[in-house]
Chain A
Amino acid sequence: MEKREGQGIIRLTEVDKSFDDEKVVKKLNLDVREGEFLTMLGPSGCGKTTTLRMIAGFEQPDSGEILLEGRNVAGKKPNERNVNTVFQNYALFPHMNVFDNIAFGLVEKKVKKDEIRTRVQEMIKLVKLDGMEKRMPSQMSGGQKQRVGIARALVNRPKVLLLDEPLGALDLKLRKQMQGELKHLQRRLGITFIYVTHDQEEALTMSDRIAVMNNGILEQVGTPEEVYNHPETKFVADFIGESNILEGYVEHVYEDAIGVTMESGKARIPETGYNSEEMVYLCVRPENLKIDARSHEGFSLRGQVREHIFIGSINKTMIELPNGQMLKAETPAEDELVPVGTVVNIYWNPGKVVVMRTKEEMIYNIIERSVQIEGMPNEPIF
């Protein structure tokens, strides 16, 4: 296979993988750029580990190809690939001390004794395990073991480091600390990281790019800012951060906006490129959802305040729409609260909504029905 210029360090094309007739990874296409921190994010069982294991060489794809540095690695064993893995359960060799664990790969490469010594020492310093060379894995804490696992992989100077939920077993505080250290390490060494997690906060804080996976399918690949602020699918909007998702259809197409009608009201949205009658999802982050006694231009959406929940520095307000759907709005804790039971107008700043196309779904038949809830003024909404 000839080497094409400008492509990523890893490229997966149309990769499929099944276990016992169950499709676990479906038509996956992914380009990983040299030196980036790419996170694979998705719920449990979506195929993240399987994808990583195919890159490492522990599993073979059923079809499609995987290129490492432009070369097809089909049939290459893990020991013939220039990638290293940090395992979720650490997988340290229990019969070797820290030094020998870290030196394992270098011994395989027949590196000279004194070079092994200096490189291992360098790594031990890097992951802050000074003085622990002689410890056995059974005598170490989870965080320390994890550092050994990372050092053992990094000492080989791989092109790509694969990390499968490396911090999954650590407590919150240690996890936060290790997140920072890992990110720092990655920057310093310039090694490409492919990092698997199902913790969206971890993904958002550490990554250069996030690949969101669901059910074996790659839903969206983008920077944290892109996937958070411009989710391309309902799943991404829902999975990354909290979201209010409203279903509706385009009733009017104006020059510079569309008028969307939902089950519970209407909104005018400054977006173009949609057709009349098209089904859409509107996605609004809780911090962007506002409530007010006044009505706002372009919005006719009302709901009733149901509950306030304090979460440290913010206050979360739950608002019920006439059809029973609950919306979340977040405000700073010091802001004055709207009393529970008040009927309010719901709006958002025009730029703070994301519109997504949806497949034709069930909205039509119920959309004309107006819904009545207790305490709402008895005026038709539509």
Chain B
Amino acid sequence: MNRFFKKHLGVFVTVGPTVLWLGIFLLIPLAYVILMTVLTKNAYGGMDFIFTLENYRNLFANEYLKVFGDSIWLSLQTTVICLVVGYPFAYILANAPKRWKGFLVMLLMLPFWTNSLIRTYGWNTLLRTEGILNHFLQGVGLIDQPLEMLYTDGAVLLGMVYALLPFTVLPLYTSIEKLDKSLLEAGSDLGASRVHVFTRIIFPLTMPGIFAGSIQTFIPSLGFFFISDMMGGAKTMYIGNLIKNQFLSARNWPFGAALSIVLIVITLILMKLYTRVGSLEDMA
């Protein structure tokens, strides 16, 4: 035993802490969540150890299917807008002069260093009926009555795009930056206009970046409950809110756990797709 330990000391020292970390903070909680999904909630907000599949069956109730539908729709919209806004952004970033690049990327990362809750509050002060934007518009006489901007679906979408844009831009930036500039010259040399250089060369070659950007935006967007809470006034329910409510207000932990598992499974499927495309990209 002692000899075995000595022989594998290196393994214990290097891999050991990681395994321990993952075990304590990921596997055990995950196992607990999975276990929860088959328990029965009791009247006091706790759980009884009675096996049931009721929680999974409940997922298919119309009201919950609508929540899933709304969430996926919102995430899709967010992703598409992030791509459309983020692509030119990433392109400019990737083609900026060398000495500017670092600075610009830092600007992009800057929001990550402040709490996203606080940043979302920032939008509140801006968009409220008696907020800065309305004051300004009334001040210059463009409108008489303050606009209802906050607590609309549009506001939620705006908040989502704002929060997730860096997740889209970074992979796009990486793949545009990697692009061999001589390919663009070759295209132009062979008679392609700027537009065609983009559609026939740049766009297809940055497809992996577009895909990575989409997935890296889509996945977190499914779980961003606080944005719809704060900017949508919780008018429309999304998966994130639903899960939060099950745990905190409805005190139905088993159902909340089942919802979480659905979210995890969606994420895993997307991650799998993502790595598949990643390896395709390496082949090219």
Contacts and interface: CB of A to CB of B under 8 A. Distances in A.
A138 interface: yes
A138 B281 CA distance: 12
Interface stretch (A84-92, A118-126, A165-173, A282-290): A84-92
**Most chain A CB inside 10 Å of its own CB: which residue of B182, B187, B189, B284:** B189
B189 A84 contact: yes
Contacts of A364: none
B52 interface: no
A21 B155 CA distance: 52
B167 to A, nearest CB: 25
A275 interface: no
B190 A91 contact: no
B144 interface: no
Contacts of B205: 93-95
A353 interface: no
Interface in A87-129: 87, 89, 91-95, 104-105, 108-109
**Most chain B CB inside 10 Å of its own CB: which residue of A56, A87, A104:** A104
**Most chain A CB inside 10 Å of its own CB: which residue of B180, B191, B204:** B191
A350 to B, nearest CB: 51
Contact of B185 (A83, A91, A138, A153): A91
A57 B200 CA distance: 20
B189 A56 contact: yes
Contacts of B183: 91, 93-94
B188 interface: yes
B107 interface: no
Interface string B188-223: 111111001000110011000000000000000000
Contacts of B185: 58, 78, 85, 87, 91
B204 to A, nearest CB: 5
Given A77-B188, A89-B182, A108 B284 contact: no
Contact of A108 (B180, B191, B204): B191
Contacts of B196: 108
A79 interface: yes
Contact of A93 (B188, B191, B193, B201): B201
Contact of A79 (B182, B191, B201, B284): B191
Interface in A53-68: 56-58
Contacts of A234: none
B186 interface: yes
A interface bracket (residues with beta carbon within 8 Å of B) = 20 to 34
Interface residues of B, number: 19
A108 B192 contact: yes
Contacts of A156: 190-191
A92 B193 CA distance: 18
A68 to B, nearest CB: 14
A152 B182 contact: no
B110 interface: no
Interface in A303-321: none
Nearest to B200: A104
B43 interface: no
Contacts of A78: 185, 188-189
Contacts of A85: 185-186, 189
B283 interface: yes
Given A91-B185, A95-B284, A79 B204 contact: no
Nearest to A94: B284
A196 to B, nearest CB: 15
A87 B183 CA distance: 10
Contacts of A94: 183, 205, 284
Interface in B4-18: none
Contacts of B200: 104
A79 B189 CA distance: 5
B179 to A, nearest CB: 10
B190 A104 contact: yes
A156 B192 CA distance: 13
B186 A93 contact: yes
Contacts of A95: 204-205, 284
Contacts of A92: 186
A138 B180 CA distance: 15
A105 B182 contact: no
Given A91-B183, A91-B185, A94-B205, A152 B284 contact: no
10 contacts: A78-B189, A79-B188, A85-B189, A87-B182, A91-B180, A91-B186, A93-B201, A94-B183, A104-B200, A156-B191
Interface of B: 180, 182-183, 185-193, 196, 200-201, 204-205, 283-284
Interface of A: 56-58, 77-79, 83-85, 87, 89, 91-95, 104-105, 108-109, 138, 152-153, 156
Given A93-B186, A95-B205, A104-B200, 7 more contacts: A93-B187, A94-B183, A94-B205, A94-B284, A108-B190, A108-B196, A109-B191
4 A-B pairs closest in CB distance: A105-B190, A108-B191, A91-B186, A91-B182
